[in-house]
């Protein structure tokens, strides 16, 4: 039987089915309206192999302590690509990457004190942490004992909501994890400060980089170019170490005074035990010993790149000159705010190439070839 008989006539099954769909859609829209869920457009990775594609989803309602940002710009970090392609394992899909977020505050919860509608603000690599452990209490939330909540590819602290990042039009974050951004800066160039900026600023400050010190920067990419800018602004003599002679002019434009071609063995010998600090921002697999040998007494190799394989370290090169290898991961909320304020006061921003959201897959391919100076930043106006 393919007809449904009602008192006033007949309906085919297919018509009845269509009506049910329409009714269900209406109910869904009504629920969204009454629940105030925030409709968000985004680009997401749906698995490790296929290109990122459009994805619509809902952000949570603005709670008492939340700030809602309309995202203007989001930087493209190499870790976005690693996680979208599940290169570190455990990726959660669909995944909206992006943790270098700058936007305008469009609404605030009733208990918010730091922000008001219309402010310019930023969100970096984390959106929450336990807030009570010894590290959280020392403003080192990035090392939260329970683990910080990443801006994306992570579960919120309710254990079920999937955190989604900045390749999207909106984000809702507790104000404790939102940063103030000076509106007069070039906002697209501020976005990468939220990850690349703090990732290099924090270890350089920790190592006490100042005038009179000799700092080497290895890996002149998104991180490295910020390392050069910060170390130079702190008054250090900065040398860029690279395998590519073509980087020399740019290194000097960014603030380096010297350039060392690491494939030139004689030149490398000349820098034996020379540097106080070397910032290693290489994410490809490489040999740490080569750089350790260039460190002077109490020299520090600051590791911020994330190679996938265990690096080679020769103990003799480590004990000589009492050298150390120091790892560092982003920075706490307090230090990230200090970094943004320092950048505003000293007019430091990233060198960026603005792209539309729809260009992200091509940007990933170019990033893999090192073909970007020095950070892609997505203009979210392209998604509206
Ligand atoms: Zn990052
Ligand atoms: Zn904690």
Q: Tell whether 176 is covered by a domain.
A: yes
Which ligand neighbours the alpha carbon of 82 most closely?
1
Taking only the tens place, the pLDDT of each residue in 218-239 is 999 999 999 999 999 999 999 9
Residues 341 and 323 in one domain: no
Q: Which chain residues have CB less than 5 Å from ligand 1, an ion? A: 77, 79, 195
- Closest ligand (CA of 192): 1
pLDDT average, residue stretch 331-335: 98
Residue-wise pLDDT for 310-324, tens only, equals 888 999 999 999 999
In the numeric block, which tokens belong to residue 47?
């698995």
Q: Are residues 175 and 50 in the same domain?
A: yes
268 and 149 housed in the same domain: no
**Any domain includes 14:** no
Q: Which domain holds residue 71?
A: 39-195+335-383
- Within a domain: 133: yes
CA of 269 to the centre of ligand 2 (A): 45
Q: Rounded to the nearest whole angstrom, what is the distance from the C-alpha of residue 192 to the centroid of ligand 1?
A: 8
DSSP string, 264-301: -HHHHHHTTT-EEEEEE---S--BSHHHHTTEEEEEEE
Q: What percent of the chain has pLDDT over 90?
A: 87
Ligand that lies nearest to the alpha carbon of residue 149, given by its number in the listed order: 2
Q: Is residue 321 part of a domain?
A: yes
Over residues 350-361, mean pLDDT: 98
Q: What is the pLDDT of residue 29?
A: 46
Q: How far apart are the first and last CA of the chain?
A: 47
pLDDT at 24 over 80: no
Mean pLDDT of 334-355: 98
Q: Quote the mean pLDDT of the chain.
A: 92
Lowest pLDDT segment from 13-27, 279-293, 359-373: 13-27
- CA of 146, nearest ligand number: 2
Query: What's the CA gap between 156 and 171, in Å, rounded?
Result: 13
Of 292, 310, 327, the last residue of a domain is 327
For ligand 2, the distance from its centroid to the CA atom of residue 157, given in whole angstroms, is: 11
Are residues 254 and 351 part of one domain?
Answer: no
When pLDDT is averaged across residues 207-225 and rounded to a whole number, the result is: 97
Give strand pairing partners of 174.
Answer: 66
- The Cβ of residue 272 has, within 10 Å, a number of other Cβ atoms equal to 10
What is the whole-number distance in angstroms between the Cα of residue 145 and the centre of ligand 2?
5
Instruction: State the pLDDT confidence band at 21, using cuts at 50, 70 and 90.
Output: low
Give the ranges where 315-358 is alpha helix by DSSP (H).
315-319, 333-346
Between the CA of 147 and the centroid of ligand 2 the distance, in Å, is 7
Residue 266 confidence (pLDDT): 96
Question: What ligand has the least distance to the C-alpha of 367?
Answer: 1
What is the CA(132)–ligand 2 centre distance, in A?
Answer: 5
pLDDT in tens, 150-178: 999 999 999 999 999 999 999 999 999 99
d(CA 77, ligand 2 centre) in Å: 25
Inform me whether the pLDDT recorded for 23 exceeds 70: no
Higher pLDDT among residues 55 and 384, named by residue: 55
With respect to residue 230, please indicate whether it lies within any of the assigned structural domains: yes
Q: How far is the centre of ligand 2, averaged over its atoms, from the C-alpha of 88 (Å)?
A: 23
Same-domain status, 212 and 355: no
Residues 214 and 282 in one domain: yes
pLDDT at 34 over 60: no
As a whole number, mean pLDDT of residues 301-309 equals 91
CATH number, position 134: 3.90.180.10
Considering the domain architecture, whether residues 265 and 139 belong to the same structural domain is answered as no
Give ion ligand 2 contacts, CB < 5 A: 129-130, 133, 136, 144
Q: Separation of 333 CA from ligand 1 center, angstroms?
A: 15
Residue 186 belongs to some domain of the structure: yes
**Per-residue pLDDT tens digits for 115-153:** 999 999 999 999 999 999 999 999 999 999 999 999 999
Q: What is the pLDDT of residues 259-286, one digit of tens each?
A: 999 999 999 999 999 999 999 999 888 9
- The ligand minimizing its distance to the Cα of 132 is 2
53 and 182 assigned to the same domain: yes
Reply yes or no on whether the pLDDT at 28 is more than 90.
no
Rounded Cα distance between 55 and 95, Å, is: 9
Residue 152 sits in the same domain as residue 273: no
| Total structural domains within the chain | 2
- Six token digits for residue 184: 């007069």
Is the per-residue pLDDT at 245 higher than 60?
Answer: yes
Residues 328-345, mean pLDDT to the nearest whole number:
98
Map tokens 């540097």 to a residue: 275
Tell me, yes or no, whether 268 and 234 share the same domain.
yes
Q: Within a 13 Å sphere around the CA of 375, how many CA atoms are in the beta-carbon half?
A: 33
Q: What is the CATH number of the domain that holds 246?
A: 3.40.50.720
Q: Are residues 300 and 312 in the same domain?
A: yes
Per-residue confidence (pLDDT) for residue 162, from 0 to 100: 96
Considering every ligand atom shown, identify the ligand nearest to the alpha carbon of residue 142 and give its number.
2
Is 18 part of a structural domain of the chain? no
Note the pLDDT of residue 36: 61
- Residue 26 falls within a domain, yes or no? no
Q: Which of 279, 302, 327 is the last residue of a domain?
A: 327
- Same domain? For 99 and 145 the reply is yes
From CA 236, how far away is CA 243, in angstroms rounded? Answer: 22
Ligand 2 centroid to Cα of residue 63, in Å, is: 21
Last residue of a domain, one of 327, 358, 373: 327
User: Rounded to two decimals, what is the model's pTM?
Assistant: 0.89
How does DSSP classify residue 192? G
Q: How far, in Å, CA of 16 to CA of 2, rounded?
A: 11
222 CA to middle of ligand 1, Å?
A: 9
């Amino acid at each position: 039987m393919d007809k449904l008989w009602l008192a006033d006539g007949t309906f085919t099954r297919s018509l009845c089915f269509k009506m049910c769909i329409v009714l269900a859609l209406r109910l869904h829209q009504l629920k969204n309206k009454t629940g105030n869920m925030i409709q968000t457009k985004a680009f997401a990775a749906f698995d490790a192999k296929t290109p990122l594609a459009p994805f619509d989803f809902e952000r949570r309602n603005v709670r008492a302590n939340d700030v809602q940002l309309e995202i203007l710009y989001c930087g493209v970090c190499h870790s976005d690509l690693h996680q979208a392609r599940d290169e570190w394992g455990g990726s959660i899909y669909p995944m909206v990457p992006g943790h270098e977020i700058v936007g305008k505050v469009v609404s605030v919860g009733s208990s918010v004190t730091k922000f008001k509608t219309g402010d310019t603000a930023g969100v970096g690599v984390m959106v929450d942490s336990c807030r009570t452990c010894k590290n959280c209490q020392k403003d080192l939330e990035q090392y939260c004992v329970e683990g910080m909540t990443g801006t994306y590819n992570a579960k919120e602290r309710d254990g079920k909501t999937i955190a989604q990042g900045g390749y999207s039009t909106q984000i809702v974050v507790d104000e404790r994890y939102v940063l103030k951004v000076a509106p007069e800066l070039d906002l697209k160039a501020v976005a990468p400060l939220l990850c690349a900026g703090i990732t290099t600023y924090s270890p350089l400050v920790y190592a006490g980089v100042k005038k009179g010190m000799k700092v080497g920067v290895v890996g002149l990419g998104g991180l490295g170019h910020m390392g050069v800018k910060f170390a130079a602004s702190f008054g250090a003599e900065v040398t860029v170490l690279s395998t590519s002679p073509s980087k020399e002019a740019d290194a000097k434009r960014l603030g380096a005074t010297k350039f060392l071609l690491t494939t030139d063995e004689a030149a490398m010998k000349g820098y034996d035990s020379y540097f106080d600090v070397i910032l290693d921002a290489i994410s490809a697999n490489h040999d740490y010993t080569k750089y350790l040998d260039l460190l002077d007494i109490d020299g520090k190799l600051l590791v911020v790149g994330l190679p996938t394989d265990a690096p080679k370290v020769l103990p003799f090169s480590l004990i000589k000159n009492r050298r150390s290898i120091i790892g560092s991961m982003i920075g706490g909320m307090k230090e990230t705010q200090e970094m943004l304020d320092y950048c505003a006061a000293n007019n430091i921003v990233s060198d960026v190439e603005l792209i539309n959201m729809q260009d992200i897959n091509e940007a990933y391919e170019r990033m893999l070839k090192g073909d970007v100076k020095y950070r892609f930043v997505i203009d979210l106006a392209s998604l509206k």
